[in-house]
Amino acid sequence: MSTADLHLDTGAMALGALPDDEAAAVQAHLQTCESCTAELAGFRETVAMLAAVSAEVPPTSLRRTVMAQIAVTAQLPPLMTPTAAPAEPPTDAVVTEPPTDLPDNVVPLRRWYRRPAALVAAAVAALVIGGGAVIGINQLDQGDQTAQTPEQCVAAAADRQTTAPAAGQGSVVYAPSCGAVTVDVSGLPDLPDDQTYQLWALAGTQPRSLDLLPDASAGESQLVTKPTQPGEDLVAITVEPAGGSPTPTLPIIWQAKLGA
């Protein structure tokens, strides 16, 4: 098979549509073709999003079976890197040590292998972007009932509702009476300098930019309060080029409903 053909195969490969023998040939070609490897990676991310269309909530029996199975299933050890590493404190690696240089909020292998005890917790939690407990609203000043700022209004509002993100850490406190939402962003990995987290409010499928999140982009926690508009029912975070974007770049990496 000619090299030109192999270049064309990335599409079929990403879709899982190559027979095994051809897939093996492409795999071999990828070793020497950087552009093909990059194209395939981009295609795979694209194809993964196709699954959003067919998402379907499974029966509860699936959860029970899966959780029962993993309880009695050993895990494969990581592929070890030969260099020895100094011991690190066995603290909660996920929260305190986010990855520094990855596009997809995932802890790289080389940082896990040093800490076998926390290995899977770190790995799995990183896969879902953080994984710790939701941080409540106790960071907010709830003392001043005559508050004037949106922050204080939200914190004191009788109708405030706290929601947790679909996955990961942080929380959203929404107060319809204030027309504002306080978003607590925690546990997101820091981003390279040329990228930033951007916060959006979504009214159905209509996005509106709320703000960039410079602190969160540097791996810190960040608390922001923003006015909301009628009809908005979701807040979401995406990764954007530095300076932000007029519309969200998919995928959405973090999202929480406004109100219960």
Report which of 166, 165, 172, 190 is spatially closest to residue 96, judged by C-alpha positions.
Answer: 190
Beta strand 171-175 pairing with 180-185 = antiparallel
8 Å CB contact between 184 and 139: yes
Q: Give me the least distance between CB of 53 and other proteins, in Å please.
A: 5
The interface mask with other proteins, positions 144-163, x = CB under 8 A, is --------------------
Q: Give me the least distance between CB of 188 and other proteins, in Å please.
A: 14
Q: What backbone phi and psi angles, to 5 degrees, belong to 38? A: -65, -40
Exactly one of 24, 70, 85, 242 binds other proteins (CB under 8 A); which one? 70
Q: Which two tokens stand for residue 43?
A: 């295609």
How many C-beta atoms lie closer than 10 Å to residue 92's C-beta? 14
For the segment 45-64, give every residue that binds other proteins (CB under 8 A): 45-63
Contact stretch for other proteins (CB under 8 A) within 102-110, 142-150, 180-188, 210-218: 102-110
Q: Give me the least distance between CB of 151 and other proteins, in Å please.
A: 26
For the segment 4-33, give every residue that binds other proteins (CB under 8 A): 5, 8-12, 14-19
* CB of 152 or CB of 238, closer to other proteins: 238
The single-letter code of the amino acid at 240 is E
* CB of 202 or CB of 224, closer to other proteins: 202
- 102-129 in b/e form (b: 16+ CB < 10 A) is eeebebeeebbebbeebbebbbebbeeb
Exactly one of 24, 28, 38, 242 binds other proteins (CB under 8 A); which one? 38
Q: Does 65 bind other proteins (CB under 8 A)?
A: yes
For the segment 177-236, give every residue that binds other proteins (CB under 8 A): 202, 204-205, 207, 234, 236
> What SS3 class is residue 183?
strand
For the segment 128-147, give every residue that binds other proteins (CB under 8 A): 128, 131
Q: Give me the least distance between CB of 125 and other proteins, in Å please.
A: 4
Q: What backbone phi and psi angles, to 5 degrees, belong to 104? A: -120, 30
Exactly one of 43, 97, 151, 176 binds other proteins (CB under 8 A); which one? 43
8 Å CB contact between 96 and 103: no
* Number of residues that this document lists for the chain: 260
Q: Does 87 bind other proteins (CB under 8 A)?
A: no
Contact stretch for other proteins (CB under 8 A) within 103-111, 135-143, 155-163, 170-178: 103-111
Q: Give me the least distance between CB of 58 and other proteins, in Å please.
A: 4
Phi/psi class of residue 26: alpha, beta or left (left: φ > 0; alpha: ψ in -120 to 50)? alpha
Question: Angle at which helices 20-30 and 3-14 pack, to 10 degrees?
Answer: 110
* CB of 70 or CB of 242, closer to other proteins: 70
Number of residues lying near other proteins (CB under 8 A): 88
